[in-house]
Amino acid sequence: MDKRGQKQDAKTFSHYSLGKKQFTEKEIVERAQEDPSFFGVLYDIYFDRIYAYILRRVSNIETAEDLTSVTFEKALRGLEGFKWKEISFSSWLYKIASNNVADYFRKSYREKNVDIEKIPELKDEKEDVGVNISKKMFFKKIQEGLLMLTDNDQKLVSLKFFEEKSNEEIAEIVGLQKQHVAVQMHRALKKLRDSLSRRKIEY
């Protein structure tokens, strides 16, 4: 536990401990809008997942670190104007990250020297070690296939299967209608399967 409280996984986040008090994400966001020092709690909750998402997209550790920093800097600057009813904080943060990645791709060529071993993973301590190893190998193969897809398809597949976002959340993040997400996701997955098959990667 650090000085702000007990860090929790963003995917299962419902309450956050600060001393003896429990706060919901919405309460922390509202507190942070009044007192910017509370933004550090949101940073603790979401840093690993935002960093992992960006790293899978840009395939370069140093670039991912830079873009993650920019994402949280922009989020802090824009927090005062954030309105919960229009989009969830999580989706808003992922949208900022996605826009930063898009800007990066517009300005430079993509590097493909990702060190997959250093990608943060969500671990279930209850899982058998063998299951964890098999899962890690499976995700490595999927990540190899993702590098062959377009940036937009990578974004959809990463949000769905690595970040475990719903189609509704993905629609908020990428700015599509929910039904269009399902259609584009189907096409992206077909391309991914074809890519894995051509490279003779079992999945």
> For 132-165, how does the pLDDT look when each residue is reduced to its tens digit (9 = 90+)?
445 555 666 666 777 778 878 888 888 887 788 8
Asked if residue 108 and residue 33 are part of one domain, the reply reads yes
Q: What is the domain range of residue 74?
A: 1-122
pLDDT at 137: 59
Asked if residue 154 and residue 98 are part of one domain, the reply reads no
Q: What is the CA radius of gyration of the chain?
A: 18
Asked if residue 79 and residue 7 are part of one domain, the reply reads yes
Asked if residue 146 and residue 70 are part of one domain, the reply reads no
Average pLDDT of the chain to the nearest whole number:
76
Position 111 confidence tier, pLDDT thresholds 50, 70, 90 = very low
Q: Could you tell me which residue, 16 or 188, shows the higher pLDDT? A: 188
Residue 126 has pLDDT above 60, yes or no: no
Asked if residue 139 and residue 111 are part of one domain, the reply reads no
From 5-9, 66-70, 198-202, the region with the lowest mean pLDDT: 5-9
Show which of 122, 152, 170 is a domain's final residue.
122
Question: Do the Cβ atoms of 94 and 164 come closer than 8 Å?
Answer: no
Residue 115 has pLDDT above 60, yes or no: no
69/75 Cα distance (integer angstroms): 10
Residue 23 has pLDDT above 60, yes or no: yes
| Nearest Cα to Cα of residue 163 among 196, 122, 193 | 122
Phi, psi (degrees; rounded to nearest 5) at 100: -65, -40
pLDDT at 18: 62
Q: CATH number of the domain that 114 lies in?
A: 1.10.1740.10
Phi, psi (degrees; rounded to nearest 5) at 55: -60, -40
Q: Could you tell me which residue, 111 or 151, shows the higher pLDDT? A: 151
The number of folded domains in the chain is: 2
Hunting for tokens 């001393």 — which residue is that? Answer: 19
Show which of 122, 145, 172 is a domain's final residue.
122
pLDDT at 134: 52
200/89 Cα distance (integer angstroms): 40
Asked if residue 84 and residue 5 are part of one domain, the reply reads yes
Question: pLDDT, tens digit, for every residue of 56-98?
Answer: 888 789 999 999 999 999 999 999 889 877 678 989 999 999 9
